[in-house]
Amino acid sequence: MIKKFYITTPLYYVNASPHIGHSYTNIAADTLARSMRKSLGKDNVWFLTGTDEHGQKIQRAAEAIKLTPLEFSDGMVGKFKELWKSLNISYDDFIRTTEPRHVQTVQRVLEILYKKGDIYEDRYEGWYCTPCETFWIESQLIEGACPDCKRKVEKISETNYFFRLSKYQSWLMEHIRQNRNFIRPDSRCEEVSRFLELNALNDLCISRPIERLNWGIPLPFSPNHVTYVWFDALINYISAVGSFDESGRYQSKWWPADLHLIGKDILRQHAVYWPIMLRALDIALPKCVFAHGWWMINEDKMSKSNGNVVNPLEMVEKFGIDVYRYFLLRDVPFGLDGNFSEAAIIKRFNSDLANDLGNLVYRTLTMVEKYFQGQIPDVKIGVDNDQIKAIVESIGNLDKCVAKSLDEPNFSAALECIWKLIGLANKYVEETKPWNLAKENKIDELKQFIRVLVEVISAVDEALMPFMPQTATLIKEQVGDHEIKKGSPLFPRIETRPKS
Protein backbone atom coordinates (compact mmCIF):
# COMPACT_ATOMS: atom_id res chain seq x y z
CA MET A 1 0.00 0.00 0.00
CA ILE A 2 1.28 3.46 -0.86
CA LYS A 3 1.86 5.55 2.21
CA LYS A 4 -0.17 8.75 2.38
CA PHE A 5 0.06 11.78 4.63
CA TYR A 6 -2.96 13.86 5.61
CA ILE A 7 -2.12 16.92 7.71
CA THR A 8 -4.47 19.57 9.08
CA THR A 9 -4.31 22.93 10.84
CA PRO A 10 -7.01 24.40 13.08
CA LEU A 11 -9.74 26.33 11.30
CA TYR A 12 -9.17 29.93 12.28
CA TYR A 13 -11.94 32.11 13.63
CA VAL A 14 -12.75 34.88 11.21
CA ASN A 15 -13.73 37.45 13.82
CA ALA A 16 -10.24 38.97 13.75
CA SER A 17 -7.38 39.33 11.29
CA PRO A 18 -4.71 36.63 11.27
CA HIS A 19 -1.68 37.23 13.50
CA ILE A 20 1.68 35.55 13.87
CA GLY A 21 0.25 32.85 16.14
CA HIS A 22 -2.02 31.64 13.33
CA SER A 23 0.79 31.87 10.81
CA TYR A 24 2.98 29.70 13.03
CA THR A 25 0.75 26.64 12.78
CA ASN A 26 0.40 27.05 9.02
CA ILE A 27 4.13 27.52 8.41
CA ALA A 28 4.86 24.40 10.46
CA ALA A 29 2.19 22.40 8.60
CA ASP A 30 3.43 23.71 5.26
CA THR A 31 6.99 22.64 6.01
CA LEU A 32 5.86 19.13 6.89
CA ALA A 33 3.60 18.89 3.84
CA ARG A 34 6.43 20.01 1.54
CA SER A 35 8.82 17.57 3.11
CA MET A 36 6.34 14.67 2.83
CA ARG A 37 5.67 15.54 -0.82
CA LYS A 38 9.39 15.10 -1.42
CA SER A 39 9.42 11.65 0.14
CA LEU A 40 5.96 10.29 -0.76
CA GLY A 41 5.25 12.13 -4.01
CA LYS A 42 2.86 15.03 -4.24
CA ASP A 43 -0.22 12.92 -4.98
CA ASN A 44 0.10 11.19 -1.63
CA VAL A 45 -0.01 14.27 0.56
CA TRP A 46 -3.06 16.28 1.55
CA PHE A 47 -2.72 19.52 3.50
CA LEU A 48 -5.95 21.06 4.81
CA THR A 49 -6.51 24.46 6.37
CA GLY A 50 -9.52 26.77 6.52
CA THR A 51 -11.80 29.01 8.55
CA ASP A 52 -14.26 28.60 11.41
CA GLU A 53 -17.17 30.91 10.63
CA HIS A 54 -20.13 30.15 12.86
CA GLY A 55 -20.88 31.24 16.40
CA GLN A 56 -21.58 34.27 18.47
CA LYS A 57 -18.19 35.93 18.15
CA ILE A 58 -18.55 36.15 14.40
CA GLN A 59 -22.21 37.09 14.52
CA ARG A 60 -21.35 40.00 16.84
CA ALA A 61 -18.32 41.11 14.85
CA ALA A 62 -20.47 41.22 11.70
CA GLU A 63 -23.32 43.07 13.41
CA ALA A 64 -20.89 45.69 14.65
CA ILE A 65 -20.12 46.74 11.08
CA LYS A 66 -23.62 46.09 9.72
CA LEU A 67 -22.79 43.11 7.55
CA THR A 68 -24.38 39.67 7.48
CA PRO A 69 -22.13 37.06 9.09
CA LEU A 70 -21.52 35.50 5.70
CA GLU A 71 -20.59 38.80 4.04
CA PHE A 72 -18.30 39.48 6.96
CA SER A 73 -16.72 36.02 6.71
CA ASP A 74 -16.21 36.35 2.94
CA GLY A 75 -14.07 39.42 3.55
CA MET A 76 -12.02 37.78 6.29
CA VAL A 77 -11.48 34.60 4.27
CA GLY A 78 -9.90 36.84 1.64
CA LYS A 79 -7.45 38.14 4.25
CA PHE A 80 -6.49 34.67 5.41
CA LYS A 81 -5.98 33.44 1.86
CA GLU A 82 -3.90 36.49 1.02
CA LEU A 83 -1.69 35.85 4.04
CA TRP A 84 -1.21 32.18 3.18
CA LYS A 85 -0.19 33.20 -0.32
CA SER A 86 2.32 35.72 1.00
CA LEU A 87 3.82 33.07 3.26
CA ASN A 88 4.02 30.43 0.50
CA ILE A 89 1.60 28.10 2.28
CA SER A 90 1.01 25.22 -0.12
CA TYR A 91 -2.34 23.94 1.17
CA ASP A 92 -4.25 21.47 -0.99
CA ASP A 93 -7.68 22.41 0.31
CA PHE A 94 -9.21 25.31 2.21
CA ILE A 95 -12.44 24.47 3.98
CA ARG A 96 -14.97 27.01 5.29
CA THR A 97 -17.49 25.79 7.84
CA THR A 98 -20.20 27.62 5.88
CA GLU A 99 -19.70 25.46 2.78
CA PRO A 100 -22.48 22.99 1.88
CA ARG A 101 -20.07 20.01 1.95
CA HIS A 102 -19.37 20.77 5.60
CA VAL A 103 -22.90 21.71 6.67
CA GLN A 104 -24.27 18.48 5.18
CA THR A 105 -21.68 16.34 6.94
CA VAL A 106 -22.30 18.02 10.30
CA GLN A 107 -26.04 17.42 9.96
CA ARG A 108 -25.42 13.82 9.04
CA VAL A 109 -23.22 13.36 12.11
CA LEU A 110 -25.91 14.88 14.30
CA GLU A 111 -28.56 12.58 12.86
CA ILE A 112 -26.44 9.48 13.30
CA LEU A 113 -25.54 10.28 16.90
CA TYR A 114 -29.10 11.32 17.80
CA LYS A 115 -30.51 8.11 16.37
CA LYS A 116 -27.90 6.15 18.26
CA GLY A 117 -28.88 7.84 21.53
CA ASP A 118 -25.47 9.49 22.00
CA ILE A 119 -27.14 12.89 21.67
CA TYR A 120 -30.07 13.63 24.00
CA GLU A 121 -32.18 16.59 25.12
CA ASP A 122 -31.85 18.14 28.58
CA ARG A 123 -32.19 21.38 30.47
CA TYR A 124 -29.13 23.47 31.20
CA GLU A 125 -28.71 26.07 33.90
CA GLY A 126 -25.44 27.77 34.62
CA TRP A 127 -22.86 30.29 33.50
CA TYR A 128 -21.78 30.94 29.97
CA CYS A 129 -18.81 32.84 28.53
CA THR A 130 -19.89 34.27 25.19
CA PRO A 131 -16.46 35.11 23.72
CA CYS A 132 -15.14 31.63 24.58
CA GLU A 133 -18.51 29.98 23.86
CA THR A 134 -18.00 27.84 26.92
CA PHE A 135 -20.25 26.75 29.79
CA TRP A 136 -18.87 27.04 33.30
CA ILE A 137 -20.09 25.84 36.65
CA GLU A 138 -20.08 28.27 39.57
CA SER A 139 -17.00 26.74 41.21
CA GLN A 140 -14.92 27.15 38.05
CA LEU A 141 -15.40 30.93 37.84
CA ILE A 142 -12.62 33.18 39.05
CA GLU A 143 -14.04 36.21 40.85
CA GLY A 144 -17.24 35.74 38.91
CA ALA A 145 -15.46 35.81 35.55
CA CYS A 146 -14.45 33.29 32.87
CA PRO A 147 -11.36 31.36 34.04
CA ASP A 148 -9.94 31.38 30.47
CA CYS A 149 -10.41 34.92 29.20
CA LYS A 150 -11.28 36.66 32.51
CA ARG A 151 -14.31 38.34 30.97
CA LYS A 152 -17.82 38.62 32.43
CA VAL A 153 -19.98 35.49 32.18
CA GLU A 154 -23.76 35.36 31.59
CA LYS A 155 -26.29 33.34 33.59
CA ILE A 156 -28.43 31.16 31.35
CA SER A 157 -31.15 28.56 31.66
CA GLU A 158 -32.34 26.71 28.58
CA THR A 159 -33.21 23.43 26.89
CA ASN A 160 -30.31 22.01 24.92
CA TYR A 161 -28.90 18.88 23.35
CA PHE A 162 -26.01 16.99 24.90
CA PHE A 163 -23.42 14.59 23.55
CA ARG A 164 -22.53 11.63 25.78
CA LEU A 165 -18.85 12.28 26.39
CA SER A 166 -19.06 10.54 29.76
CA LYS A 167 -20.01 7.21 28.18
CA TYR A 168 -16.66 7.04 26.38
CA GLN A 169 -14.30 8.33 29.06
CA SER A 170 -12.77 5.03 30.08
CA TRP A 171 -12.43 3.97 26.46
CA LEU A 172 -10.52 7.21 25.71
CA MET A 173 -8.23 6.76 28.70
CA GLU A 174 -7.40 3.28 27.51
CA HIS A 175 -6.79 4.50 23.96
CA ILE A 176 -4.36 7.12 25.20
CA ARG A 177 -2.59 4.55 27.39
CA GLN A 178 -2.22 2.16 24.47
CA ASN A 179 -1.14 4.79 21.94
CA ARG A 180 1.55 6.93 23.47
CA ASN A 181 1.99 8.86 20.24
CA PHE A 182 -1.64 9.84 19.95
CA ILE A 183 -1.12 13.09 21.87
CA ARG A 184 2.22 14.81 21.53
CA PRO A 185 4.53 16.11 22.81
CA ASP A 186 4.66 13.84 25.89
CA SER A 187 3.99 16.71 28.26
CA ARG A 188 0.61 17.29 26.56
CA CYS A 189 -0.21 13.59 26.70
CA GLU A 190 0.46 13.69 30.43
CA GLU A 191 -1.70 16.76 30.79
CA VAL A 192 -4.70 15.13 29.11
CA SER A 193 -4.20 11.83 30.93
CA ARG A 194 -4.06 13.60 34.27
CA PHE A 195 -7.15 15.62 33.44
CA LEU A 196 -9.06 12.44 32.60
CA GLU A 197 -7.87 10.69 35.73
CA LEU A 198 -8.90 13.54 37.98
CA ASN A 199 -12.20 14.57 36.38
CA ALA A 200 -15.36 12.77 35.39
CA LEU A 201 -16.31 14.15 31.99
CA ASN A 202 -19.59 16.03 31.77
CA ASP A 203 -21.66 15.42 28.68
CA LEU A 204 -21.03 18.17 26.14
CA CYS A 205 -23.73 20.69 25.33
CA ILE A 206 -23.69 20.73 21.53
CA SER A 207 -26.59 23.08 20.77
CA ARG A 208 -27.53 26.74 21.19
CA PRO A 209 -31.14 27.99 21.16
CA ILE A 210 -31.80 30.14 18.10
CA GLU A 211 -33.22 33.01 20.14
CA ARG A 212 -29.71 33.49 21.54
CA LEU A 213 -27.72 32.51 18.47
CA ASN A 214 -28.94 31.88 14.96
CA TRP A 215 -25.62 31.91 13.13
CA GLY A 216 -24.93 28.20 13.15
CA ILE A 217 -25.81 24.89 11.54
CA PRO A 218 -29.45 23.97 12.32
CA LEU A 219 -29.96 20.73 14.26
CA PRO A 220 -31.83 18.37 11.90
CA PHE A 221 -34.04 17.18 14.79
CA SER A 222 -34.81 20.55 16.40
CA PRO A 223 -35.73 23.69 14.45
CA ASN A 224 -35.13 25.76 17.60
CA HIS A 225 -31.43 25.04 17.93
CA VAL A 226 -28.19 25.48 16.05
CA THR A 227 -24.99 23.47 16.55
CA TYR A 228 -22.35 24.52 19.10
CA VAL A 229 -19.44 25.97 17.14
CA TRP A 230 -16.79 23.53 18.41
CA PHE A 231 -18.88 20.47 17.61
CA ASP A 232 -19.43 21.95 14.15
CA ALA A 233 -15.82 22.95 13.52
CA LEU A 234 -14.05 19.72 14.53
CA ILE A 235 -16.05 17.82 11.92
CA ASN A 236 -14.25 19.75 9.16
CA TYR A 237 -11.40 17.27 9.31
CA ILE A 238 -13.69 14.59 7.91
CA SER A 239 -16.12 16.74 5.92
CA ALA A 240 -13.28 18.06 3.76
CA VAL A 241 -12.06 14.66 2.64
CA GLY A 242 -15.01 12.26 2.55
CA SER A 243 -18.70 11.61 3.13
CA PHE A 244 -21.15 9.20 4.72
CA ASP A 245 -22.82 6.55 2.61
CA GLU A 246 -26.49 5.51 2.89
CA SER A 247 -25.81 3.22 5.80
CA GLY A 248 -23.96 5.89 7.78
CA ARG A 249 -20.49 4.57 7.07
CA TYR A 250 -17.83 7.22 6.47
CA GLN A 251 -15.78 6.84 3.25
CA SER A 252 -12.59 8.72 2.49
CA LYS A 253 -9.39 8.38 0.56
CA TRP A 254 -7.41 10.39 3.09
CA TRP A 255 -8.86 9.64 6.50
CA PRO A 256 -7.54 8.98 9.15
CA ALA A 257 -5.50 12.15 9.49
CA ASP A 258 -1.85 11.47 10.12
CA LEU A 259 -1.37 14.70 12.03
CA HIS A 260 -3.66 17.34 13.51
CA LEU A 261 -1.40 20.28 14.21
CA ILE A 262 -2.86 22.64 16.81
CA GLY A 263 -1.87 25.15 19.47
CA LYS A 264 -1.95 24.03 23.11
CA ASP A 265 -4.99 26.26 23.75
CA ILE A 266 -7.26 23.87 21.89
CA LEU A 267 -5.88 20.57 23.10
CA ARG A 268 -8.92 19.45 25.08
CA GLN A 269 -11.27 19.81 22.11
CA HIS A 270 -8.89 17.83 19.89
CA ALA A 271 -7.72 15.22 22.36
CA VAL A 272 -10.98 14.61 24.24
CA TYR A 273 -14.09 15.75 22.34
CA TRP A 274 -12.89 14.87 18.85
CA PRO A 275 -11.71 11.28 19.46
CA ILE A 276 -14.94 10.56 21.34
CA MET A 277 -17.03 11.98 18.50
CA LEU A 278 -15.20 9.74 16.06
CA ARG A 279 -15.50 6.71 18.29
CA ALA A 280 -19.25 7.26 18.63
CA LEU A 281 -19.44 7.44 14.83
CA ASP A 282 -17.34 4.30 14.48
CA ILE A 283 -14.68 6.18 12.51
CA ALA A 284 -10.94 5.56 12.90
CA LEU A 285 -9.02 8.04 15.06
CA PRO A 286 -6.33 10.42 13.80
CA LYS A 287 -2.84 9.02 14.31
CA CYS A 288 -1.54 12.04 16.16
CA VAL A 289 -2.62 15.34 17.68
CA PHE A 290 0.41 17.58 18.18
CA ALA A 291 -0.02 20.73 20.28
CA HIS A 292 2.63 23.41 19.88
CA GLY A 293 3.34 26.26 22.26
CA TRP A 294 2.44 29.92 22.16
CA TRP A 295 4.19 32.93 20.84
CA MET A 296 4.27 35.47 23.63
CA ILE A 297 5.02 39.17 23.67
CA ASN A 298 6.76 40.15 26.87
CA GLU A 299 5.44 37.08 28.68
CA ASP A 300 1.84 37.61 27.53
CA LYS A 301 0.09 35.35 25.03
CA MET A 302 -0.43 37.10 21.74
CA SER A 303 -4.15 37.39 21.10
CA LYS A 304 -6.76 39.83 20.02
CA SER A 305 -8.14 40.06 23.54
CA ASN A 306 -4.69 40.88 24.95
CA GLY A 307 -4.37 43.65 22.37
CA ASN A 308 -0.78 42.74 21.47
CA VAL A 309 -1.06 41.12 18.07
CA VAL A 310 1.71 41.36 15.50
CA ASN A 311 0.68 41.40 11.85
CA PRO A 312 2.64 38.74 9.94
CA LEU A 313 2.47 40.74 6.71
CA GLU A 314 4.38 43.55 8.36
CA MET A 315 7.11 41.12 9.40
CA VAL A 316 7.28 39.69 5.89
CA GLU A 317 7.58 43.15 4.41
CA LYS A 318 10.32 44.06 6.82
CA PHE A 319 12.40 40.88 6.76
CA GLY A 320 11.19 38.72 3.85
CA ILE A 321 9.07 35.56 3.83
CA ASP A 322 11.81 33.05 4.44
CA VAL A 323 13.50 34.99 7.20
CA TYR A 324 10.17 35.03 8.99
CA ARG A 325 9.56 31.31 8.35
CA TYR A 326 13.11 30.48 9.44
CA PHE A 327 12.84 32.48 12.64
CA LEU A 328 9.56 30.88 13.77
CA LEU A 329 10.76 27.37 13.03
CA ARG A 330 14.29 27.76 14.34
CA ASP A 331 14.11 29.95 17.39
CA VAL A 332 11.93 27.78 19.63
CA PRO A 333 11.80 23.99 19.94
CA PHE A 334 8.40 22.93 18.63
CA GLY A 335 6.04 22.40 21.54
CA LEU A 336 7.46 25.09 23.83
CA ASP A 337 6.44 28.73 24.18
CA GLY A 338 8.60 31.43 22.64
CA ASN A 339 9.05 35.15 22.96
CA PHE A 340 8.52 37.11 19.77
CA SER A 341 10.53 40.24 19.13
CA GLU A 342 12.10 41.97 16.17
CA ALA A 343 15.42 42.05 18.02
CA ALA A 344 15.34 38.24 18.20
CA ILE A 345 14.65 38.02 14.44
CA ILE A 346 17.56 40.34 13.67
CA LYS A 347 19.88 38.31 15.87
CA ARG A 348 18.99 35.07 14.05
CA PHE A 349 19.18 36.86 10.73
CA ASN A 350 22.69 38.18 11.24
CA SER A 351 24.16 35.02 12.69
CA ASP A 352 22.46 32.12 10.89
CA LEU A 353 21.36 33.67 7.62
CA ALA A 354 23.86 36.43 6.85
CA ASN A 355 27.01 34.97 8.47
CA ASP A 356 26.46 31.27 7.89
CA LEU A 357 24.21 30.44 4.92
CA GLY A 358 24.45 33.71 2.97
CA ASN A 359 28.18 33.88 3.39
CA LEU A 360 28.77 30.30 2.26
CA VAL A 361 26.79 30.82 -0.93
CA TYR A 362 28.23 34.23 -1.70
CA ARG A 363 31.87 33.39 -1.10
CA THR A 364 31.53 30.20 -3.17
CA LEU A 365 29.98 32.08 -6.08
CA THR A 366 32.66 34.75 -5.81
CA MET A 367 35.43 32.16 -6.02
CA VAL A 368 33.86 30.34 -8.96
CA GLU A 369 33.69 33.68 -10.73
CA LYS A 370 37.20 34.71 -9.81
CA TYR A 371 39.09 31.47 -10.34
CA PHE A 372 37.01 29.67 -12.96
CA GLN A 373 35.20 32.38 -14.94
CA GLY A 374 31.83 31.33 -13.57
CA GLN A 375 32.16 27.67 -14.63
CA ILE A 376 31.79 25.08 -11.87
CA PRO A 377 34.81 22.74 -12.10
CA ASP A 378 33.67 19.32 -13.23
CA VAL A 379 35.73 17.06 -10.99
CA LYS A 380 34.93 14.16 -8.68
CA ILE A 381 35.53 14.60 -5.00
CA GLY A 382 38.47 12.49 -3.88
CA VAL A 383 38.17 11.95 -0.15
CA ASP A 384 41.79 12.58 0.67
CA ASN A 385 41.71 14.52 3.89
CA ASP A 386 39.81 14.34 7.15
CA GLN A 387 37.98 17.58 6.61
CA ILE A 388 36.61 16.56 3.24
CA LYS A 389 35.77 13.15 4.67
CA ALA A 390 33.73 14.75 7.46
CA ILE A 391 31.92 16.98 4.99
CA VAL A 392 31.10 14.12 2.61
CA GLU A 393 29.83 12.09 5.54
CA SER A 394 27.72 14.96 6.77
CA ILE A 395 26.23 15.40 3.27
CA GLY A 396 25.40 11.68 3.23
CA ASN A 397 23.66 11.86 6.61
CA LEU A 398 21.80 15.08 6.04
CA ASP A 399 18.51 13.68 4.74
CA LYS A 400 18.27 11.12 7.50
CA CYS A 401 19.06 13.67 10.18
CA VAL A 402 16.44 16.12 8.89
CA ALA A 403 13.81 13.42 8.37
CA LYS A 404 14.29 12.05 11.87
CA SER A 405 13.78 15.48 13.41
CA LEU A 406 10.77 16.24 11.23
CA ASP A 407 9.25 12.96 12.27
CA GLU A 408 8.96 14.23 15.87
CA PRO A 409 8.38 17.02 14.56
CA ASN A 410 11.21 19.19 15.81
CA PHE A 411 11.88 21.90 13.23
CA SER A 412 14.59 23.52 15.24
CA ALA A 413 16.59 20.30 15.41
CA ALA A 414 16.05 19.67 11.69
CA LEU A 415 17.46 23.10 10.86
CA GLU A 416 20.38 22.47 13.19
CA CYS A 417 21.31 19.40 11.09
CA ILE A 418 21.47 21.66 8.03
CA TRP A 419 23.43 24.35 9.82
CA LYS A 420 25.95 21.85 11.11
CA LEU A 421 26.90 21.12 7.52
CA ILE A 422 26.99 24.83 6.65
CA GLY A 423 29.29 25.35 9.64
CA LEU A 424 31.65 22.59 8.51
CA ALA A 425 31.84 24.08 5.02
CA ASN A 426 32.57 27.59 6.26
CA LYS A 427 35.28 26.25 8.53
CA TYR A 428 36.71 24.34 5.56
CA VAL A 429 36.96 27.59 3.57
CA GLU A 430 38.67 29.40 6.41
CA GLU A 431 41.18 26.63 6.99
CA THR A 432 41.93 25.82 3.36
CA LYS A 433 42.77 29.40 2.46
CA PRO A 434 41.89 29.07 -1.24
CA TRP A 435 43.66 32.35 -2.10
CA ASN A 436 46.94 30.59 -1.28
CA LEU A 437 46.04 27.63 -3.50
CA ALA A 438 45.42 30.10 -6.32
CA LYS A 439 48.66 31.94 -5.66
CA GLU A 440 50.62 28.71 -5.64
CA ASN A 441 48.83 27.60 -8.80
CA LYS A 442 47.46 24.41 -7.19
CA ILE A 443 44.62 24.26 -9.68
CA ASP A 444 43.55 20.66 -9.09
CA GLU A 445 43.23 21.27 -5.38
CA LEU A 446 41.35 24.46 -6.00
CA LYS A 447 38.95 22.68 -8.33
CA GLN A 448 38.32 19.98 -5.79
CA PHE A 449 37.85 22.58 -3.06
CA ILE A 450 35.19 24.43 -5.06
CA ARG A 451 33.49 21.18 -5.99
CA VAL A 452 33.14 20.25 -2.31
CA LEU A 453 31.52 23.61 -1.57
CA VAL A 454 29.13 23.27 -4.49
CA GLU A 455 28.10 19.81 -3.32
CA VAL A 456 27.47 21.18 0.17
CA ILE A 457 25.37 23.99 -1.23
CA SER A 458 23.25 21.62 -3.35
CA ALA A 459 22.65 19.33 -0.38
CA VAL A 460 21.79 22.26 1.88
CA ASP A 461 19.57 23.70 -0.80
CA GLU A 462 17.63 20.46 -1.26
CA ALA A 463 17.16 20.09 2.49
CA LEU A 464 16.10 23.71 2.93
CA MET A 465 13.35 23.55 0.29
CA PRO A 466 10.48 22.67 2.69
CA PHE A 467 11.51 25.32 5.23
CA MET A 468 12.55 28.19 2.97
CA PRO A 469 11.15 27.45 -0.49
CA GLN A 470 11.87 30.88 -1.98
CA THR A 471 15.47 30.98 -0.80
CA ALA A 472 16.09 27.41 -1.91
CA THR A 473 14.80 28.24 -5.39
CA LEU A 474 16.99 31.32 -5.54
CA ILE A 475 20.09 29.39 -4.51
CA LYS A 476 19.33 26.78 -7.16
CA GLU A 477 19.17 29.51 -9.76
CA GLN A 478 22.47 31.04 -8.63
CA VAL A 479 24.43 27.83 -8.24
CA GLY A 480 23.55 25.99 -11.44
CA ASP A 481 24.78 22.58 -12.55
CA HIS A 482 27.69 23.86 -14.57
CA GLU A 483 27.57 27.61 -14.57
CA ILE A 484 26.81 30.08 -11.81
CA LYS A 485 24.62 33.17 -11.92
CA LYS A 486 25.85 35.35 -9.15
CA GLY A 487 23.34 37.80 -7.72
CA SER A 488 23.55 40.11 -4.76
CA PRO A 489 24.06 38.52 -1.32
CA LEU A 490 20.97 36.62 -0.14
CA PHE A 491 20.94 38.07 3.35
CA PRO A 492 22.85 41.34 3.69
CA ARG A 493 23.57 41.98 7.38
CA ILE A 494 21.14 44.18 9.25
CA GLU A 495 23.11 46.83 11.09
CA THR A 496 21.65 47.73 14.44
CA ARG A 497 22.62 50.90 16.16
CA PRO A 498 24.21 50.26 19.56
CA LYS A 499 22.07 51.53 22.42
CA SER A 500 23.47 54.79 23.74
Residues that bind ligand MSP (CB under 6 A): 10-13, 21-22, 24-25, 52, 233-234, 236, 262-263, 265-266, 294-295, 301-303
Q: Using CB positions, name the residue nearest to ligand MSP.
A: 21
Identity of the residue, 7 or 395, whose beta carbon is nearer to ligand MSP in the bound complex: 7
Residue 55 or 358: the one with the smaller Cβ distance to ligand MSP is 55
Q: Which is nearer to ligand MSP, 263 or 335 (CB)?
A: 263
Angle subtended by helix axes 386-407 and 443-464, to nearest 10: 0
Q: CB 132 → ligand MSP: shortest distance, Å?
A: 10
Of the pair 30, 52, the CB lying nearest ligand MSP is at 52
Which C-beta is closer to ligand MSP: that of 133 or that of 462?
133
- Residue 373 Cβ vs ligand MSP, minimum distance, rounded to whole Å: 49
Q: Least distance in Å: CB of 67 to ligand MSP?
A: 19
Nearest CB to ligand MSP, comparing residues 74 and 265: 265
Q: Specify the residue, 95 or 475, whose C-beta has the smaller distance to ligand MSP.
A: 95
Give the nearest distance from C-beta 206 to ligand MSP in angstroms.
Answer: 14
Nearer to ligand MSP, 13 or 215 (CB): 13
Q: CB 10 → ligand MSP: shortest distance, Å?
A: 4
Instruction: Please report how close the Cβ of residue 305 comes to ligand MSP at its closest, in angstroms.
Output: 10
CB of 245 to ligand MSP, least distance (A): 24
